[in-house]
Structure 1
Amino acid sequence: MIVPPLALAQFVASYAATTMTVAVTVIAEDLGTTVLGVQTAITLFTLTMASLMVPGSKLTDFLGRKRCFLLGLVVYGGGALLASAAHGPLLLVLGYSLLQGIGSALMIPPIYILVTVTSPDVETRARRFGVVSGAGALGAAAGPLFGGLVTTWLGWRASFLLQVLIVVLIVVLALRIAEPPRVPEKARFDVAGAVLSAAGLFFVVVGVLQMGSSWFWVLLVIGAGVLSVFAAHIHAREQTGREPLVSPGLFRDRTTRLGLATQHVQWLVLQGSFFVIAVFLQQVRGYDAIRTGLMLTPATIGILVASAAAGRMARRHSQRRLIRGGFVLAIAGLVLVLLLVRADSGVASAVPGLFLLGAGVGIMLTASVNLVQSRSPDAAQGDISGVSRSVSNLGSSVGTALAGSVLAGVTRPGGTSFALALATLTLVAVGGLVAALLIPKPLPKALPKPR
């Protein structure tokens, strides 16, 4: 009974991250604001979630995994309820951007921690991560499609109320989760580290979202500088015997570093390619949000099929091999989209490429999360889960910003800009494959000594 509430929570978090995009114009008109104002609320949601993911994950060591998960659900549901009652942009920002962002940062890390610490073996863990990853992919795909239907038939407020109902169901299911053994009591919470990590990630994400503007490098340098201070801070705390927000030892492990790099690239390629293809379908082919969501269905099916097979694949292949194979499939899918999809091509032209892209990403998402989470002991799951989710969220932001800047920077007519954007993402995926090839082979288990 532990998987259903965790998978549903990942579903609703992914749904919230994408459903707003199809209701921007309607919300702006209803609240008497501009499209830019609603887009700012969406950006603030991303910023809040990404900035607080590491501190939110660390709180599981102090509050407990189940309690932190339930607290995040309550905050998230309260934010959705407040947003549904908004009559101006300020209340929308408070409910959606801040409270739902904070709730996501509290409830998402425990999802991955609970799956890790309650799974008896790698195969079971892979199967459970497959369900969670599949639910996340389904939520991300359902956001534009189902969100468009709900907004059209019932209004944009109904989409937030739907999230409230799902959260209530998750809370009822989550109350039955058996609390895993408590992690040994930690020292005082690293408040300074939490502030530095949140500020550093804030400036990095804002800088990424400003890609193509004169502020891009300025904000990135500020973010990198703050994160450098954060790195020095946690190292100093560890040297003096105090508990840091994140143990620097996590980043000394080569497999963990490369696994995190592949996670970043996976989300970058997934969100970037979805963004490019969605814009292409709407601007070049004139599709509405519902038809666009339907066109992306093959990729969603690919992710779900790969996620459903995660347990069997983990039994037959190493996580390292699965990550490599996933990148090969994703790259092949992107190449097929580049070769087959044109402004005047039929609907079927996109199916093979999108399915391979989705299947490749689905294989990688489960395998890389399993690889990274399994490298750390139970006591360090609060650390690695927050870092893992931050890296993934940053990848999503970079993917959309990178694709958007390429599209904006090419002024030639036709589909040239879209092809260039997809080609750029393909090269990034090749870089991810190189990182996967560098993941070291796990050491063989020692044989028992003869008696």
Structure 2
Amino acid sequence: MLVPPLALAQFVASYAATTMTVAVSVIATDLGTTVLGVQTAITLFTLTMASLMVPGSKLTDFLGRKRCFLLGLLVYGVGALLASAAQGTVTLILGYSLLQGIGSALMIPPIYILVTVTSSDVATRARRFGVVSGAGALGAAAGPLIGGLITTWLGWRASFLLQVVIVGLVVVLALRLVEPPEVPARTRFDVVGAVLSAAGLFFVVVGILQMGTSLFWVFAGVGVAILYAFFAHIRTRERKGHEPLVSPALFRDRTTRLGLATQHVQWLVLQGSFFVIAVFLQQVRGYDAIHTGLMLTPATVGILASSAAAGRMARRHSQRRLIRGGFVVAIAGLVLVLLLVRADSGVASAVPGLFLLGAGVGIMLTASVNLVQSRSPDAAQGDISGVSRSVSNLGSSVGTALAGSVLAGVTRPGGTSFALALATLTLVAVVGLIAALLIPKPLPQAR
């Protein structure tokens, strides 16, 4: 019973990040606010989750993996319930943006830690990561479709109530989880490191969301400066013999650094391409939320198919080879979308490219997570899990912001801006492939 509650929790967190986009106008009208007010709530959810992921992961060393997971579910569920009853923007932000964001930061890192420390071999771990990663990708991809259906038929509040129901089911299943026997010894929590990492990531994400404006450089610059102070702090703390929030040694391993880079690019390409394609379908072809979600189904199928085969592929190929192969397949899918999809082309024109894009992402998502998590011993899983999830969330934010800035910067008609945005994402995927090619040959695992 290990995987089902972890996969469901990852699904609901990914679902919450994308389902709100199709209900923005309805929520704004119902609450008597503006679209900008609801978009602010969505942005704050991403900010809260990304900023607190590293401290939330480290807390698992103090609270225990299972306890931290259950606490995150409780906070998340309360937030979803509060958001469902919101009568104004303030309550929506408190429930959705803050409580659900905090809950996500507490429950997501234990998911990956538990899979890593309870799996006896690479193939088993890959199979489990395949299910979890597939559930996350499915939640992100199906969020707009499911959200569109629920909003249309039952209202936007029902979408939050659905999350409450799923969280309740996860809690029941999670009670049967067994706490891993070896939990790192408790030491003093690095409060200064937690504040610096959260503040640095906060300003970086705000800067990313302002990409294309002069504020990007202001916020991004402040964020980078704070993160520099964070790295200086953890190095100093380690030299003094105190345990830092994250060990600097984590970033000295070349395989880990490159694996994290591929994770960042994977989520950047996935979220960025979904954003571009969804906007293209709605603005150029005039599709509504439901039809847009249906058009993205081939990508979802590709992700699920490749994730389901993760364990079998891990037995036959190294994680490094799978990451490289995944990038090649995803790039081929993006190229096919660029070549075949036009404003007047048929529905079937998008199927081959979207399927390959999804299959490629599914292959490399699982392999990258497996590679990075497996490089660290059990005692360091709290560190690497938080960094890994932060890097992935940053990738999602960068992908949407980058795609949006390209779309906003090109005003020529005929879908030129959409083609340019997809071409830009394809080039980024090529950079990810280069990073994958630089990953050294597998060495004996640290655990």
Bucket of the pairwise TM-score, normalised by the shorter protein = over 0.9
Give deviations 1:316-339, integer Å, cap 9, x for gaps: 000000000000000000000000
Map 1:307-326; keep pairs closer than 5 Å: 307-326=307-326
Q: State the partner residue of 2:235.
A: 235
* Matching residue of 2:186: 186
- What amino acid is the match of 1:16? A
**Secondary structure class of the residue paired with 1:412:** coil
Counterpart-to-counterpart distance in 2, 1:263 and 1:7: 19
**1:344 aligned onto 2:344:** yes
* Superposed counterparts of 1:309-388, under 5 Å: 309-388=309-388
Equivalent residues of 2:238, 2:247 under 8 A apart:
yes
Partner of residue 126, structure 2: 126
The answer (yes or no) to whether the contact 2:142–2:300 under 8 Å persists in 1 is no
Aligned partner of 1:409 in structure 2 is 409
The CA distance in 2 between the partners of 1:184 and 1:166, in whole Å, is 30
* CA-CA distance at 1:173 after TM superposition: 0.3
Displacement, 1:138? 1.4
Contact 2:322–2:363 (Cα < 8 Å) also in 1? yes
Could you tell me which residue of structure 2 aligns to residue 14 of structure 1? 14
Q: CA deviation at 1:39?
A: 0.2
Matches within 5 A, 1:367-446: 367-443=367-443
User: Matched residues in 1 for 2:130 and 2:31: separation?
Assistant: 39
| 1:55-70 alignment runs, 5 A limit | 55-70=55-70
3-state SS of paired residue (2:315): helix
Task: State the secondary structure of the residue aligned to 2:230.
Answer: helix
One-letter amino acid of the structure 2 residue matched with residue 267 of structure 1: W
| Aligned-residue offset at 1:444 | 6.4
1:274 aligns with 274
| 1:443 shift after superposition | 3.2
Q: Quick one: which amino acid aligns to residue 109 of structure 1?
A: P
**Aligned twin of 2:143:** 143
What are the superposed Cα offsets for residues 85-144 of structure 1, whole Å, 9 maximum, x if unpaired? 100000000000000000000000000000000001000000000000111111112211
Number of the residue aligned with 2:168: 168
Tell me if the contact between 1:124 and 1:311 (Cα under 8 Å) persists in the aligned partners.
yes
Question: Which amino acid in 1 is paired with 2:407?
Answer: L
Letter in 1 for 2:243: E
Alignment-mate amino acid for residue 356 of structure 1: L
C-alpha distance in 2, partners of 1:191/1:136?
30
Question: Residues of 1 paired with 2:88 and 2:218: CA distance?
Answer: 32
Q: Does the CA-based 8 Å contact 1:9-1:170 persist in structure 2?
A: yes
Cα deviation digits, residues 359-387 of structure 1 (max 9, x gap): 00000000000000000000000000000
Write the distance in 1 (CA, Å) between the matches of 2:184 and 2:211: 43
Higher mean displacement: 178-187 or 386-395: 178-187
Distance across 2 between alignment mates of 1:277 and 1:163:
26
Q: Aligned residue for 1:84?
A: 84
Alpha-carbon shift at residue 33 of structure 1 (Å): 0.2
1:298 aligned partner, one-letter code: P
* Equivalent position of 1:449 in the other structure: none
| Structure 2 counterpart of 1:216, one-letter code | F
Aligned to 2:206: 206
Q: Tell me the equivalent position of 1:94.
A: 94
Query: Contact 2:126–2:367 (CA<8 Å) still a contact in 1?
Result: yes
Find the counterpart in structure 1 of residue 158 from structure 2.
158
Quote the Cα distance in structure 1 between the aligned partners of 2:186 and 2:441.
Answer: 33
Partner of 1:105: 105
User: Residues 115 and 125 of structure 1 are in contact (CA less than 8 Å); yes or no, is this contact kept in structure 2?
Assistant: yes
The answer to whether the 8 Å contact 2:54/2:387 transfers is yes
Q: CA deviation at 1:305?
A: 0.3
* Number of positions where the alignment pairs a residue of Structure 1 with one of Structure 2: 445
Deviation >6 Å, runs of 4+: none
The alpha carbon displacement at 1:303 in A equals 0.3
- The superposition leaves residues 428-448 of structure 1 with CA deviations (integer Å, 9 ceiling, x where unpaired) of 000000000000002369xxx
Structure 2 match to 1:448? none
Give the aligned residue type for 1:103: G
SS in structure 1 at match of 2:231: helix
Per the normalisation by structure 2, the TM-score is 0.99
With normalisation by structure 1, the TM-score equals 0.98
Q: 1:444 to 1:390 in 2, by over 3 A?
A: closer
The corresponding residue for 1:27 is 27
Indicate if the aligned counterparts of 1:186 and 1:243 stay in contact, CA closer than 8 A.
no
Cα distance between partner residues in 2 of 1:253 and 1:134: 27
Identity over aligned residues, as a percent? 89
Give the letter aligned to residue 429 of structure 1: A
CA distance in 2, matches of 1:363, 1:426: 17
Once residues 412 and 158 of structure 1 are traced to their aligned partners in structure 2, the CA distance between those partners, rounded to angstroms, is 40
- Taking the aligned partners of 1:105 and 1:444, their CA distance within structure 2 comes to 31
* Contact 1:333-1:355 at 8 Å conserved across structures: yes
Q: Which residue of 1 aligns with 2:53?
A: 53
Give the deviation of 1:182 after TM superposition: 3.6
Q: CA deviation at 1:256?
A: 0.0
Q: Are 2:200 and 2:223, in contact at CA under 8 Å, matched by a contact in 1?
A: yes
1:414, CA displacement in angstroms? 1.0
Q: Is the 8 A contact 1:271 1:400 kept in 2?
A: yes
Q: 1 CA distance for matches of 2:215 and 2:141?
A: 32
1:260 matched to 2:260: yes
| Residue identity in the other structure for 2:439 | I
Unaligned runs of at least 5 residues, structure 1: 446-451
Query: In structure 1, how many angstroms separate the alpha carbons of the residues matched to 2:357 and 2:143?
Result: 19
- Are 2:255 and 1:248 aligned? no
Question: What SS does the aligned partner of 2:138 have?
Answer: helix
Structure 1 contact 302–362 (Cα < 8 Å) conserved? yes
Corresponding residue for 2:2? 2
SS across alignment from 2:205 = helix
Which letter does structure 1 place at the counterpart of 2:7? A
The one-letter code matched in structure 1 to 2:310 is: A
**Residues 329 and 357, structure 2, Cα contact 8 Å, conserved in 1:** yes
Q: Aligned partners of 1:108, 1:182: CA distance in 2, in Å?
A: 20
RMSD: 0.7
**Do the aligned residues in 2 keep the contact of 1:64 with 1:182 (CA within 8 Å)?**
no
